[in-house]
Structure 1
Amino acid sequence: MKKAIFTLAIGDNPMYKAALESFQAYADKVGADLIVSDKLHFHINIKDPIYSASPAWPEKLFTAELLKDYDRILYLDADILVTPHARNIFEEYTDLETVYMFDEGRHLNRDLPISQINEALGPADNWQTVDGKQSYYNFGMFLVSKECKLFQLATLEGMQKVCNTVKFYDQTYINYIIQKHNIPNQCVDAEFNRMEFLGQENYKKASFIHYAGRGYRIKCPSREIRYVDDYCELYPEKVTAQERQQMKLSAWNLFIKNLSKKSYVPQMLLHIIGKPTLGRQWL
């Protein structure tokens, strides 16, 4: 059975190098190819969106093309870190007609985006519920096989209809397609998409750590700095002292750049102020 791990990494975010290293190590471990998309295959017209909306989000639809050559695809966002002790997800979840994702709707109220897309595209009858909460899968990780119809039914045109009006438009659209067409689906164990809202305790014991949102900042100034710091701790044999310093410096520089945009304080001044305090701890 031909397997691939697919991710999207466009730009020079310091997380990406570490992420791809961890993905490649996992691909070697489970006998899969690593496929990295560093350019967009789809164009979507985002204009005056009500919510945050990226033109890169439809890129996950490229999974349909990959399934022409591969039997199974594991997609991972590039802000996920695969740990060296990660279990083999391909062996854990084996039904080929089922899409496997983590159901964040069991933990977070996602009634708003669900109601928005039902209004935009017509109701998906009998939306699944778990303990009275509407099912809503996180789209940052999924395992899908050639026999599953999800990416035969999900289209760029469908995303275009909702990208400017629906919250988390790509993720919500995929959830809608699953529910509308009764596609077999199953929630994976949280260790395969471990996010901060599940708590910070022992998160590094998970197989896939997802640094979405605040990303386990835990007194750390940014998720990128936290990510790089965790990577260096979990994979000490993969980075030299010089590489470790460069990765941490790149993450710090990105933090200062973003902070400057938000505060309108010059980057040089932020470096002068921050390095003797925060920077001393993380660099």
Structure 2
Amino acid sequence: ARRVVATLSIGKRSHFATARVAMEAYAKRVGAEFVVVDSTAHASLARWNATLHSGSNSHFMKLPMLQWFLEHYDQLLFLDDDVLVSPFAPDLFSSVPCEAFGAVYEGYHKQGWHSMHARSFCSLYGLA
């Protein structure tokens, strides 16, 4: 099965330099291609870009992008560009069959929660 780990990170997103390290390592570990959509010119956004010209632009740019990836790969793991993947994360592709859909609901965390975990993440990867 052709697998891809994809993320959308357009513009100045300084945190992504750190998150990218873990995403790339995870993709390599699970045998997936790693793709960063970092421009509106990326092929996965062609359908979304077409709506710009018609005047009916959708704000849901991820939906046509995800559709594009699902047309080109057997399995897709989409991660927001601020996700810090643990080096101990399981192979999610093996946990969710090709014909199924898996998702995680991100609960509310108090302010400071993300920065606390980012510091731990940086220490774990020797980035601090």
Task: Specify every segment of 5 or more residues in structure 1 that has no aligned partner in the other structure, as ranges.
Answer: 46-53, 105-194, 198-212, 245-283
The equivalent of 2:101 in structure 1 is 99
Q: 1:7 to 1:60 in 2, by over 3 A?
A: farther
State the AA in 1 paired with 2:103: M
Q: Which one of 67, 74, 98 corresponds to residue 77 of structure 2?
A: 74
Which residues in structure 2 correspond to 1:21-32 (within 5 Å)? 21-32=21-32
Say whether residues 1:234 and 2:119 are aligned partners.
Answer: no
Q: Tell me how far apart the structure 1 counterparts of residues 79 and 107 of structure 2 sit (CA, whole Å).
A: 16
Q: Which has the higher contact order (CA 8 A, sep 6+)?
A: 2
> How many residue pairs are counted as aligned between the two chains?
116
TM-superposed CA distance for 1:196, in Å, is 4.9
Q: Tell me how far apart the structure 2 counterparts of residues 84 and 233 of structure 1 sit (CA, whole Å).
A: 13
Q: What is the Cα-based RMSD across aligned positions, in Å?
A: 2.5
Aligned-partner SS, 1:73: strand
Which residues in structure 2 correspond to 1:99-118 (within 5 Å)? 99-102=101-104, 104=105
TM-superposed CA distance for 1:62, in Å, is 1.2
Which protein shows a greater Rg? 1
TM-score, structure 2 as length reference: 0.75
Q: Considering fraction of residues, name the structure with more helix.
A: 1
Q: Tell me how far apart the structure 1 counterparts of residues 11 and 95 of structure 2 sit (CA, whole Å).
A: 33
Q: Is the 8 A contact 1:15 1:228 kept in 2?
A: no
Q: Is the 8 A contact 1:4 1:72 kept in 2?
A: yes
The equivalent of 1:6 in structure 2 is 6
TM-superposed CA distance for 1:64, in Å, is 1.8
Aligned-partner SS, 2:72: coil
TM-superposed CA distance for 1:39, in Å, is 1.6
Q: Which one of 65, 71, 80 corresponds to residue 62 of structure 1?
A: 65
TM-superposed CA distance for 1:100, in Å, is 1.0
Which residues in structure 2 correspond to 1:188-267 (within 5 Å)? 195-197=106-108, 217-218=112-113, 223=114, 225-226=115-116, 228-236=118-126, 239=127, 244=128
State the AA in 2 paired with 1:97: E
Task: Specify every segment of 5 or more residues in structure 2 that has no aligned partner in the other structure, as ranges.
Answer: 53-57
Deviation per CA, 1:79-100, whole angstroms, max 9, x where unpaired?
A: 2110011111111122x22211
Aligned-partner SS, 2:61: helix
